[in-house]
Amino acid sequence: MSTLKRKTPEELRSYRWFGAPVFRSLGHRARMAQQGYAREDYMGKPVIAIINTWSEINPCHTHFKDRAEWVKRGILQAGGFPIELPAMSLGEPYVRPAAMLYRNMLAMETEELLRSHPIDGAVLMGGCDKTTPGLILGAISMNIPAIYVPAGPSLRGDNKGKTLGSGTDLFTSWYKYKAGEFSELQLEEVENGISRSAGTCMTMGTASTMMSVADTLGFSLTGASSIVAPDSRHAIMAERTGRRIVDMVWEDLKPSDFLTASSFDNAITTALALGGSTNAVVHIIAMARRAGIPLSVDRFDQLSSEVPHLANIRPAGKYLMEDFYYAGGLRAMLKRLGSLIDTSQLTVSGKTLGENIADAEVYNDDVILPLDQPLGELGSLVILRGNLAPKSAVLKIHAADKALREHIGSAVVFENVEELQRLIDSPELQVDKDSVLVLKNAGPLGAPGFPEWGQIPIPKKLLEKGVKDMVRISDSRMSGTSFGTCILHVAPESFIGGPLALVRNGDLIELSVSKREVNLLISEQEMAQRQADWVAPKPYYPRGYGRMFAEHVTQADEGCDFDYLETIPGKDGLIPEPPIQ
Ligand code: FES
């Protein structure tokens, strides 16, 4: 158990609003009375914000409208006072140009909602891709007690007796449709059966990865991330979370008390053992930097060579998150990882990760594989460098064709996504199975917003010949539900003059996974000449949030946070509390 000293009611942050002997407190209390609350309802009690990312345009969070009531019940039962504060819902399927454009906005919203209101602790409700890192980033910076309720994965997709996985089966159905193997009706049947309950994508996409990462970091009641959304045990978890945050406030258990270099190693280890989304690289780095913990992309490659891929989940494996839950879930996988996990790390429960997984068991060895029988060889995420990616690029090799790991091919270049869409299926496109497809201007600034365009489609004429994978390279991201030899997150990006901007049709590009390199095979003189001739494009946004994003976002290898939101190690990045007035 935590040995943290308990707060007194007068030490509560909310007491600055409600209890201070000043006129303004009278005004605050009068407004509480306006809502029907007497002093004894909230005075001297932990006031808990439920930051809820529910909205009618986030299908993954449909249960949150209702689930927040369970959280409230837990808070009330433990002697706290709940206040639901809605935040932007960032429903991944609808937000354009990319939900990633707004991750930092949600992070700022979370931090500032908590800062500006009489809040002692926070329950963060998220799950759909960018909501998890957005909420956690804000909570790390605010650094008051905070606990995370993951939305949980949705049920397995189903169509005519066949199990469907989010994203993955949509991609394959679309390819079949394009290749003439699927009718409009068959496409519609998949459309109707693939997402059939509340909850996040149930393949090992970004949502499943990041919910598990947040859980391992210590932000959830350990194992919460694996509970499928419609399961009644998800409601029980939500209520327990509500109860726990009240004690966390009395104990003053904050993110800075449990985030360490080791807890971030645990988070990376989890992402790797899950065969998780490449997006985890960007989000985990951003979180660590907010916490003032230095973390480089290289740590992912180092741990990748030590951590076996145990979760046999699509797209790399066979099962879905629902199966993972029934097989024991994250707790069982962490237990199975043994000494690869630092079990001494503290969690929101006030106990260590080790204490929380002590009784965990694997119930299905085909879903959570034994340590000595992992899915493929060690190393599911590879960090590449080379003259095309001086700062770094990422490749998920388990989702890639082994035959393409050492490859030289001539570039087929698309200057932007519009050109890609216009030309990719053209019969005139000069392309063969050995070509390297290059997409420029798809990064944090170039797209803008760092969208998931990195799974560049295979040209129709090659699909028709049975080509299933090609080397593809971009400064974009890729959905965790995607697959293929897609080199992603190239940094610096082409929009700011990174070497990817200099590639021309017909140039030879070499990928060598064994050397961890991706290179443009032209002379240094030619490279320098092209760099000198390069003309910087105009920025997209003349005003508003987009302009702020463009002026302050960092590159992929640095987490794509805003430079002014990072905490600088050795300097206090904390903002003082507002004065009592
Ligand atoms: Fe919400 Fe995939 S679209 S988790």
Distance 89 CA to ligand 1 centre (A): 11
Give all strands of the β-sheet with 406-414 in edge-to-edge order.
381-384, 392-396, 486-491, 471-474, 436-439, 406-414, 508-512, 517-520
What is the per-residue pLDDT for 569?
54
Residue 388 included in any domain:
yes
Average pLDDT of 30-59?
Answer: 97
User: How many C-beta atoms surround the C-beta of residue 56 within 10 A?
Assistant: 10
Quick check: CB of 207 below 6 Å from ligand 1? yes
Quick check: CB of 452 below 6 Å from ligand 1? no
* CA 77/CA 73 separation, integer angstroms: 6
Q: Would you say 566 and 560 are in contact if contact means Cβ atoms under 8 Å apart?
A: no
When pLDDT is cut at 50, 70 and 90, the band that residue 1 belongs to is: very low
Q: What is the DSSP string of 116-165?
A: HTT-SEEEEEE-STTHHHHHHHHHHHH-S-EEEEE--BPPPEEETTEEE-
- Cα Rg for the chain, rounded, in angstroms? 24
Residue 118 included in any domain:
yes
Distance 205 CA to ligand 1 centre (A): 8
DSSP 3-state of 257:
helix
The separation between the first and the last C-alpha atoms of the chain, rounded to the nearest angstrom, is: 38
Q: Which two tokens stand for residue 476?
A: 């974009």
Q: Is the pLDDT of residue 337 over 90?
A: yes
Q: Whose CA is nearest to atom 3 of ligand 1?
A: 92
Quick check: CB of 235 below 6 Å from ligand 1? no
Residue 218 included in any domain:
yes
Q: Is the pLDDT of residue 174 over 70?
A: yes
When pLDDT is cut at 50, 70 and 90, the band that residue 575 belongs to is: confident
* CA 78/CA 73 separation, integer angstroms: 9
What is the per-residue pLDDT for 159?
95
- Kindly give the residue spans of alpha helices, DSSP state H, lying in 424-488: 460-463
**Ligand 1 closest atom vs CA 92:** 3
262's CB contacts (< 8 A; 6+ apart) are: 342, 344, 345
CATH of the domain at 489: 3.50.30.80
Residue 298 included in any domain:
no
Quick check: CB of 201 below 6 Å from ligand 1? yes
Q: Which of 232, 260, 288 is the last residue of a domain?
A: 260
What is the per-residue pLDDT for 3?
54
**Ligand 1 closest atom vs CA 166:** 2
Q: Which two tokens stand for residue 467?
A: 């080509």
Q: Whose CA is nearest to atom 2 of ligand 1?
A: 201
Average pLDDT of 87-110?
Answer: 96
Q: Is the pLDDT of residue 572 over 70?
A: no
DSSP 3-state of 436:
strand
Mean pLDDT of the chain: 95
Mutate to test the pocket of ligand 1, among 128, 131, 155, 168 (most ligand atoms within 8 A of CB): 128
Residue 164 included in any domain:
no
Give all strands of the β-sheet with 121-126 in edge-to-edge order.
81-86, 47-52, 121-126, 146-150
Distance 388 CA to ligand 1 centre (A): 31
Distance 166 CA to ligand 1 centre (A): 8
Average pLDDT of 31-48?
Answer: 97
Quick check: CB of 150 below 6 Å from ligand 1? no
Q: Which of 260, 279, 306 is the last residue of a domain?
A: 260
When pLDDT is cut at 50, 70 and 90, the band that residue 341 belongs to is: very high
**Ligand 1 closest atom vs CA 200:** 4
DSSP 3-state of 172:
helix
What is the per-residue pLDDT for 377?
81
Residue 95 included in any domain:
yes
Average pLDDT of 56-72?
Answer: 98
Q: Is the pLDDT of residue 165 over 80?
A: yes
Distance 174 CA to ligand 1 centre (A): 18
Q: Would you say 406 and 514 are in contact if contact means Cβ atoms under 8 Å apart?
A: yes
What pLDDT, in 10s, does the model give residues 252-274?
A: 999 999 999 999 999 999 999 99
212's CB contacts (< 8 A; 6+ apart) are: 225, 226, 270, 271, 274, 276, 330
Distance 199 CA to ligand 1 centre (A): 8
Residue 122 included in any domain:
yes
Task: State which residues form the domain around 218.
Answer: 9-155+197-260
Mutate to test the pocket of ligand 1, among 55, 57, 88, 92 (most ligand atoms within 8 A of CB): 92
Q: For residue 487, which phi and psi values (nearest 5 degrees)? A: -85, 125
What pLDDT, in 10s, does the model give residues 483-513?
A: 799 999 999 999 999 999 999 999 999 999 9
* CA 357/CA 149 separation, integer angstroms: 18
Domain check: are 253 and 398 in the same one? Answer: no
Distance 315 CA to ligand 1 centre (A): 15
Q: Which two tokens stand for residue 363?
A: 């119930």
Q: Is the pLDDT of residue 147 over 90?
A: yes
What pLDDT, in 10s, does the model give residues 423-457?
A: 999 999 999 999 999 999 999 999 999 999 999 99
35's CB contacts (< 8 A; 6+ apart) are: none
When pLDDT is cut at 50, 70 and 90, the band that residue 4 belongs to is: low
- Sign of the four-CA dihedral 176, 456, 275, 64: negative
**Ligand 1 closest atom vs CA 481:** 2
Pairing of strands 157-159, 162-164: antiparallel
CATH of the domain at 15: 3.40.50
Distance 373 CA to ligand 1 centre (A): 30
Domain check: are 117 and 251 in the same one? Answer: yes
Distance 91 CA to ligand 1 centre (A): 7
Q: Whose CA is nearest to atom 1 of ligand 1?
A: 128
Distance 90 CA to ligand 1 centre (A): 10
- Sign of the four-CA dihedral 12, 14, 15, 16: positive
Q: Is the pLDDT of residue 573 over 70?
A: no
Distance 252 CA to ligand 1 centre (A): 33
Tally of domains within the chain: 2
Q: Is the pLDDT of residue 74 over 90?
A: yes
Q: Is the pLDDT of residue 19 over 50?
A: yes
Average pLDDT of 511-538?
Answer: 97
Q: Is the pLDDT of residue 187 over 70?
A: yes
When pLDDT is cut at 50, 70 and 90, the band that residue 566 belongs to is: confident
What is the per-residue pLDDT for 570?
52
Mutate to test the pocket of ligand 1, among 129, 210, 279, 479 (most ligand atoms within 8 A of CB): 129
Mutate to test the pocket of ligand 1, among 57, 60, 64, 277 (most ligand atoms within 8 A of CB): 60
**Ligand 1 closest atom vs CA 207:** 4
Q: Is the pLDDT of residue 380 over 80?
A: no
Residue 390 included in any domain:
yes
Domain check: are 255 and 392 in the same one? Answer: no
What is the per-residue pLDDT for 145?
98
Domain check: are 80 and 216 in the same one? Answer: yes
Q: What single letter denotes the amino acid at residue 395? A: L
Quick check: CB of 129 below 6 Å from ligand 1? yes
Mutate to test the pocket of ligand 1, among 58, 89, 201, 213 (most ligand atoms within 8 A of CB): 201
Average pLDDT of 102-126?
Answer: 97
